[in-house]
Structure 1
Amino acid sequence: MSYQALRNFISEEFAMDVPPEQLTADLDLIDTGIVDSLGVLKLIAFLEGEYNLNITPDELDADLYRTIGMIEAMIDSKQAAAA
């Protein structure tokens, strides 16, 4: 699955000066200040719409969205469970 839409969204919404291709899978979005607590909520709304996910209340922890790699793994896991 391509996650280019995820990288584009993060670049356009939170890191306008960082091209999507520079957002590596292990870049810590929280520690670098790219995404803050309000940003996590925007990111979750995007993930639910773009990838047709249902994010549960126990999955609202910002630490679950710390890196693009973690987000991609969560998308894969939720989509596999729904299939």
Structure 2
Amino acid sequence: MCTYLKIEGIAFLCKMSLSTFKKCFIKEYNENPNKFLQKKRLAKAKELLQQRKQKPSEMYLELGYKNLSNFRAAFKNEFGLTPREVDAR
């Protein structure tokens, strides 16, 4: 079951078009909403790994990644470590 947010759904709930929502979001937060949510999802993944609540192979789908290798690459790009390296600490 996917529990992550999608930008399209948030825009719909705000009763805005996707492009209007993105413009308003960038104006307010100085960041693209997709990047913002990705950082939040990766921060949650790091927290779960540090608390040893889940393994990378158990969480990547819930966090909105289609495969484990994309999740690993995004995680390493954000934190400079692989999920396994964080889990091992």
Q: TM-score range by the shorter chain?
A: under 0.3
Return the index of the structure with the highest Cα Rg.
2
Give the structure with the larger helix fraction. 2
Q: Give the number of the structure with larger relative contact order, counting CA–CA contacts within 8 Å between residues 6 or more apart.
A: 1
TM-score by length of 1: 0.28
